[in-house]
Structure 1
Amino acid sequence: METQNVTLSLPKELLRQAKHLAIEQGTSLSGLLAQLLKEATKSKDEYVEAREHHLAVLNNLDLGTEGKAGWTRGDLHVRQPGQTVC
């Protein structure tokens, strides 16, 4: 895989902590950042794919109503005699 150098400006304390984390994981700071960015972009790609799949399922969902409700708002809110609103 071809790589490219980048310049980052990070708070000193964050950089110190990130270096320690990289050492604990047995990798370099570049390796740690590359892995984190890879996971973040993979997660985003998976979300987009799942969203598109579920929207396609919803678009093909047939409730047998032909897109029209068989009731009115009033039908849904009819109260029985003596019934009180909580």
Structure 2
Amino acid sequence: MATRNLTVSLPEELVRKAKIIAAERDTSVSALLAELVEGLTSGEARFDTAWRDEVALMRSGSGLQVGDVTWSRDELHER
């Protein structure tokens, strides 16, 4: 995949912490950011797909049936 340079402004303390994490993982801050953005974008796509699937399932129904309703709302809420 082709890469493209991007300028990002972050607080100094955050950059310092990111450099420490990157060093511990034997990678770069750029790679950490790329991994984070990839996770965010793929997570969004997975959520959208799951949401569409759930809506389709709700519209089609599950085929489950509880049975005849033999009570009234008032009976259920009697005190």
- Determine if the TM-score, normalized by the shorter chain, exceeds 0.5: yes
1:77 partnered with 2:58: no
4+ residue runs over 4 A deviation: none
Q: CA–CA distance in 1 between the matches of 2:15 and 2:26? A: 16
State the 1:63 CA deviation.
6.7
Corresponding residue for residue 33 of structure 2: 33
The structure richer in helix per residue is 2
Counterpart position of 2:49 = 49
Aligned to 1:67: none
Q: Does 1:8 align with 2:8?
A: yes
Residue in 2 that maps onto 1:19: 19
* Structure number with larger C-alpha Rg: 1
Secondary structure of 2:4's match?
coil
CA distance in 2, matches of 1:57, 1:42: 23
User: Once superposed, what is the RMSD of the aligned Cα atoms?
Assistant: 2.1
Q: How many residues get paired?
A: 73
Residue ranges of structure 2 left out of the alignment (5+ in a row): none
In structure 1, distance between residues paired with 2:19 and 2:49 = 34
